[in-house]
Amino acid sequence: MTVGANRISTYTSTSTGTDGRNAEQKNLWTTMLGSAASGKRLPEKNILVLGGSPETQREFLDSLSTGDQRRTIDRQRVPPVANNFALGYTYYDVLDADQEDTLARISLYLLSTPSPSFSSLIKPLLTPETIPNTLIVVLLDWSQPHAWLRQLQEWILMLRDILQSLDSGCMDAMEEVMVSWRDRGRTGSSLNIDGTGAVPGEGNTALPLGPSEWADGLGLPLCVVCQNADKMEILEKTQGWKEADFDQILQYLRTILLRHGASLIYTTQHLPSQLQSLIHASLGISSLIKRDPLNPNVIDRDKILVPPNWDSWGKIRVIREGFDVEVVSSGWQEDIQQDWPLAAAAPHHDQEDGENGVAPAAAGAVGHYEEWVPHASVGLQITEREGDTSAVEVTSEDAQAFLAEQAKVLEAMRLKAAEADKERVDPPRSMGRKGDELDLGVGRGGGSIVSDHIGPVQFNMGGIQVDADDMLQRIKDRQEYATPDPTTPPPPADGPPNAADSAGLEAFFMNLMNRKPGASAAGSPAR
């Protein structure tokens, strides 16, 4: 009994101790797994892509992310892009330089058309939590540079209408974002827009703002991407654009974007650019292994890069003299103070003339820009309807009108062929008819036009020098005056006398006359 009791007691005590250790281990593993899960949680970033078509939006996404980066958690398939209707969506993961660690997940919301109907779709995306991690990107295309300022105006008016309708929590978050962005890159150190590096209060003093810088901040960082910069060569070759025209467009864009603290970049499909570095740095995403510094570029016209907090009026004036920065900046301020949505306005070249027969002057930077671009160089005739020079449009002719025109062409060809047939049947006198002089240029006076230039045609036949002209004359006389030879068979009843003999002799002597000088007469028949 004692032994049994001891065994039971020992088993019970041992079992109780094991459960206690298992409970401790379970709590330990739960804590570690929870810590690891929170540490592996990806930072969420948002990009609101405005403008462009579904195709150009896909090009932007392809330039922004490689095939290895656009992957899901299972790393097997590329996330789809839904951008054909209303507000589109897609996402991709940003990988570190070693392609192993995931730095962040970027969600892209795509909208092609500015419309008040879409405002209700964008508002839920802007909250106090998402505003610090949101970037606005406006896509422009070099196929229609004449519409750039109006497109920017519509997008900014739409965004301002949406942002001003948010609650106070969102307003406070946007104010903090704008203060933070104004301080980036102004500490006297190298440009660093990803939020790292020197900050004011650590031995560096923030530089003061220049004229019109951040005068109209939206509350969110803005980046303008001008796609398909390779079409600049097409404008230069086919539309007669000059280098001054491209410079002036760049001055307009930089002057306008300076008021919003925005960045600007030109991109070309399938060619490397700094777009990925600019977008990721604007979202505060930086590699843990390799840093890619942004290098401003205002020299190469198809690789322009203007980071935020870098530009100024002085740098804009240096591009080309004669550009009035103050007028364009104040004009843009008037343009973005208009009511949204904008009233539909006819193109300036279709407007009726003023009272004095002069077209009314357009107000604001948009009006001056649209008035200048169509006349920037010879041959530039782009309108709002036909702005896409990359499209191939053919206006077909009416079928009946086309057939009627072709019938006239066929009738003219028929008449020309009839005249040619008539000339062959009834040749002119210079061609020589039967009974007249032969086709050797023999004149009516017995002379020869050819002989007057090259002399008599003679050849050797069997050791005897023969004059071809004299021989032909004899044949002619024989044909006209000679009587038939009784030894020769009679000619056919329906043919002229001696026609066969005369034709054979004419052909023989013509062959001799056409033979090259010095040719052997061995083949000649013996006399």
Higher-pLDDT residue of 318, 20 = 318
Q: How confident is the model at residue 154 (pLDDT cuts 50, 70, 90)?
A: very high
**Number of residues that make up the chain:** 527
Residue with tokens 């702005």: 387
Is pLDDT above 70 for 339? Answer: yes
In-domain check, residue 73: yes
Whether residue 382 has pLDDT greater than 50? no
| CA separation for the pair 295, 202 (Å, rounded) | 25
Q: What percent of the chain has pLDDT over 70?
A: 64
The more confidently predicted of residues 104 and 484 is 104
Among the residue ranges 142-151, 270-279, 515-524, the one predicted with the least confidence is 515-524
Q: What is the pLDDT of residue 436?
A: 45
Q: What's the average model confidence in pLDDT over 353-381?
A: 62
Does 291 reside within a domain? yes
Rounded-to-integer distance, Cα 220 and Cα 241, Å: 35
- Residue 381 pLDDT > 50, yes or no? no
- Give residue 336's pLDDT: 94
Check pLDDT > 90 for residue 158. Answer: yes
Task: Quick: pLDDT tens for 301-330.
Answer: 999 999 999 999 999 999 999 999 999 999
First to last CA, the chain: 163
Distance (Å) of CA 301 to CA 159, 190, 250, 324: 29, 24, 9, 21
> For residue 28, is it within any domain?
no
In a domain, 382, yes or no: no
Q: Kindly state whether residue 25 falls inside one of the protein's structural domains.
A: no
> CA angle at residue 224 from 166 to 260, to 5 degrees?
55
The residue that leads in pLDDT, 477 or 186, is 477
Band (453; pLDDT cuts 50, 70, 90): low
- Give per-residue pLDDT as tens, 24-35: 555 777 776 666
- 132, pLDDT greater than 90: yes
Q: Would residue 468 count as lying in a domain?
A: no
- As a whole number of angstroms, the distance between CA 442 and CA 298 comes to 83
Say whether pTM exceeds 0.75. no
**Residue 69 confidence (pLDDT):** 47
pLDDT of residue 288: 76
Q: Retrieve residue 425's tokens.
A: 């049947």
Give the pLDDT of residue 74: 45
**Residue 164 · residue 252 · CB < 8 Å:** no
pLDDT band, very low/low/confident/very high, at 131 (cuts 50, 70, 90)? very high
3-state SS assignment for residue 368? helix
Q: What is the pLDDT of residue 102?
A: 84
Number of domains in the chain: 1
Distance of CA 389 to the CA centre of its chain: 8
Of 125-129, 137-141, 336-340, least confident by mean pLDDT is: 336-340
Q: Is the pLDDT of residue 136 over 90?
A: yes
Q: What is the DSSP letter of 25?
A: H
- The answer to the question of residue 81 being in a domain is yes
Torsion of CA 444, 445, 447, 450, to 10 degrees: -40
User: Whole domain around residue 157: which residue ranges?
Assistant: 42-197+206-347+360-375
Q: Is 79 within a domain?
A: yes
pLDDT, greater one: 90 or 340: 90
- Say if residue 45's pLDDT is above 90: yes
Q: Which residue has the higher pLDDT, 112 or 437?
A: 112
Q: Is the predicted pLDDT of residue 401 greater than 90, yes or no?
A: no
The neighbouring-strand residues paired with 465 are 460
Neighbours of 61 (CB within 10 A): 21
CATH classification of the domain holding 290: 3.40.50.300
Average pLDDT (37-57) is 84
pLDDT at position 95: 85
What sign has the CA pseudo-torsion 295, 296, 300, 303? Answer: positive
pLDDT category at 369 given cuts 50, 70, 90 is very high
pLDDT score at 456 = 64
pLDDT band of residue 337 (cuts 50, 70, 90) is very high
Between CA 289 and CA 96 the distance in angstroms is 7
Mean pLDDT of 209-213: 89
Per-residue confidence band for 226, with pLDDT thresholds at 50, 70 and 90: very high
Contacts of 172 (CB under 8 A, 6+ apart): 128
